[in-house]
Chain A
């Protein structure tokens, strides 16, 4: 399908035509930002870089009911089917993160909760033009205009958004939008390409990640793990707000006779995460927990699924209260051998 353009003054029409209720868009909320449905008052903010809370929360909510039951009875009721969604304005790194997490959630057996939402979603990405200081997507196989995991890539051309249509799902959106979208020409694509290249040039931080997966197993007993984890408070922000972190706890919640079994985000940086009932803990201190976090992203996930489970979004650096910096840890890994 040909590339199309969405004139900025028609964004409202575009949302209305496709059905406002389908959209999940970046929004400023209570001092942070996240993807949320549009309601009467809210507005999409396509000028945000990465949202504070990654869009994984759409597919894998922080708290999610697996099934409901009445205490003392045996019937269980799982939540119903989800509706179609259009995720508009997702940044390329976050789309790649979902492609990465797909590998885990569709590893036999398929996770039906995650998968059904993924199947129902059309991903309309927005190329980055102003990377943040701690962005390093280009070091881990991505880029400010990466198309992995997207159905459409949007680029802000000033007066309009260029829509580069990547999949059938993307085509369907454009067809539904009808004449709200206008035809684009080669000069638009050339302009977009220039913006993409300029953005890549603006990424100042990075690391050659190629040899990290093979180096990590050799550094199991290295002193770096104590050193890099010493300042850690164990708050878990680096994992909760990481777009590829997917670990969860399962809890029963009961109010009166109504109960639900739900899953909630969990963090490998918490002591309780691996604590056995006996009191034994295979990862007793932050040294072991930090070592696991880095190994999981840059070694174990690579062994299992062939890709690094880090997309260089920079959130764990930006949001760490004590300035622990994954690029700094990785460069110590590289220097230690």
Chain B
């Protein structure tokens, strides 16, 4: 953390591409911090977030969508939704953006060693799950297994599709892709993510389930995980709220007595079910 936590690093866009197109397009940015010292000192863990923006426009909180095991860079997958994200979408390779962080807690992947990891994602909700997938893939011998369930409304709404198609070909990990509505030329599953979860029917034995997606999807995924006999302590998710500082000062991101930016964004269902405001 820098001495002045409000002052961001300058980062250069090394690569950028669209994951999805349309009015709520998702664009991924691969960036590196300009300052060598900052690059050396930066370390993030899967699940952490960063404030990303541009001087003169503003900044917003995004999850870091890459694992540190991938290399000396950062990735952010940004859905166009407002002024700042529109400003970011206009940026191309070589352009400068601001980054500060990393913020928040992380998925306890060290504690989960020896366990089977199950990710259940929907739409842009796969972005915070991607670092888990990459981290476990890079250390596959230390985990009991990796199962991914990922869905979106249409094939055009799926993020990281190429990566999933590569993983679907592997026999040492299980990748299940699904879309809500039948499409011509679609070779994978059709159906909502919660029903896909029941079709896959994972055993709760020695397994950790992590889910992220639209609130309605999370609601039914939680119900179905309970039907599959997952204990509250085996279920994790990551929350988002409007944020301005990222480190517990500006006040607004609290759910009950927890700040999402500092006490979260990663919470176990065992904790969340006791915070009535978390259901909002």
CA A92 – CA B255 in complex, angstroms? Answer: 32
Partner of B248, one of A76, A104, A276: A104
B257: Cβ under 8 A from any A Cβ:
yes
CB of A296 within 8 A of CB of B254, answer yes
Of chain A, the residue at the smallest CB distance from B263 is A304
CA A71 – CA B249 in complex, angstroms? Answer: 27
B144: Cβ under 8 A from any A Cβ:
no
A-B residue pair count with CB separations less than 8 angstroms: 106
CA A249 – CA B253 in complex, angstroms? Answer: 12
Given known contacts A69-B55, A252-B55, A266 and B252 CB-to-CB distance under 8 angstroms:
yes
Partner of A252, one of B56, B248, B255: B56
B10: Cβ under 8 A from any A Cβ:
yes
Chain A 50-89 per-residue mask, 1 if CB under 8 angstroms from chain B, else 0 = 0000000000000000110101011010100000000000
Contacts of A66 in B (CB 8 A): 6-7
Partner of B244, one of A111, A112, A248, A304: A248
Given known contacts A112-B3, A220-B276, A252 and B250 CB-to-CB distance under 8 angstroms:
no
Q: Which of B6, B55, B59, B215 has the most chain A CB within a 10 Å cutoff?
A: B55
CB of A300 within 8 A of CB of B257, answer yes
The number of chain A residues touching the other chain, given as a range, is 35 or more
CA A273 – CA B249 in complex, angstroms? Answer: 14
Q: Kindly provide the distance from the CB of A116 to the nearest chain B CB, expressed in whole angstroms.
A: 11
CB of A248 within 8 A of CB of B58, answer no
A274: Cβ under 8 A from any B Cβ:
yes
Q: Kindly provide the distance from the CB of B56 to the nearest chain A CB, expressed in whole angstroms.
A: 4
CA A248 – CA B4 in complex, angstroms? Answer: 17
Given known contacts A76-B7, A112-B3, A282-B277, A248 and B250 CB-to-CB distance under 8 angstroms:
yes
B245: Cβ under 8 A from any A Cβ:
yes
Contacts of B257 in A (CB 8 A): 299-300, 303-304
CB of B244 within 8 A of CB of A249, answer yes
B220: Cβ under 8 A from any A Cβ:
no
Which A90-109 residues sit within 8 Å CB-CB of chain B? 104-105, 107-109
A278: Cβ under 8 A from any B Cβ:
yes
24 pairs, CB–CB < 8 Å, chain A vs chain B = A69-B56, A74-B34, A74-B55, A76-B55, A104-B248, A107-B248, A109-B5, A112-B3, A220-B276, A220-B277, A246-B249, A247-B250, A247-B252, A249-B250, A250-B244, A254-B56, A263-B250, A266-B251, A274-B241, A276-B242, A277-B60, A280-B215, A292-B254, A296-B254
A259: Cβ under 8 A from any B Cβ:
yes
CA A268 – CA B250 in complex, angstroms? Answer: 10
CB of B58 within 8 A of CB of A252, answer yes
Which B229-280 residues sit within 8 Å CB-CB of chain A? 240-242, 244-245, 247-252, 254-257, 276-277, 280
Closest 10 CB pairs of A and B: A247-B251, A300-B257, A282-B280, A277-B81, A277-B82, A303-B257, A74-B10, A71-B56, A220-B276, A250-B244
A283: Cβ under 8 A from any B Cβ:
yes
Q: Kindly provide the distance from the CB of B246 to the nearest chain A CB, expressed in whole angstroms.
A: 10
Of chain B, the residue at the smallest CB distance from A302 is B257
CA A217 – CA B4 in complex, angstroms? Answer: 35
CA A67 – CA B3 in complex, angstroms? Answer: 14
CA A111 – CA B4 in complex, angstroms? Answer: 8
Chain A 221-265 per-residue mask, 1 if CB under 8 angstroms from chain B, else 0 = 100000000000000000000000011111110100001010100
Q: Kindly provide the distance from the CB of B80 to the nearest chain A CB, expressed in whole angstroms.
A: 10
Majority secondary structure of chain B interface residues (helix, strand, loop or mixed): loop
Chain A 277-288 per-residue mask, 1 if CB under 8 angstroms from chain B, else 0 = 110101100001
CA A248 – CA B1 in complex, angstroms? Answer: 21
B85: Cβ under 8 A from any A Cβ:
yes
Partner of B242, one of A78, A273, A295, A304: A273
CB of A246 within 8 A of CB of B55, answer no
B89: Cβ under 8 A from any A Cβ:
no
CB of A104 within 8 A of CB of B249, answer yes
Contacts of B55 in A (CB 8 A): 69, 71, 73-74, 76, 252, 259, 261
Q: Kindly provide the distance from the CB of A270 to the nearest chain B CB, expressed in whole angstroms.
A: 10
Given known contacts A74-B10, A74-B96, A277-B81, A268 and B251 CB-to-CB distance under 8 angstroms:
yes
CB of B56 within 8 A of CB of A67, answer no
Contacts of A78 in B (CB 8 A): 4, 7
Contacts of B81 in A (CB 8 A): 277-278
Contacts of A107 in B (CB 8 A): 248-249
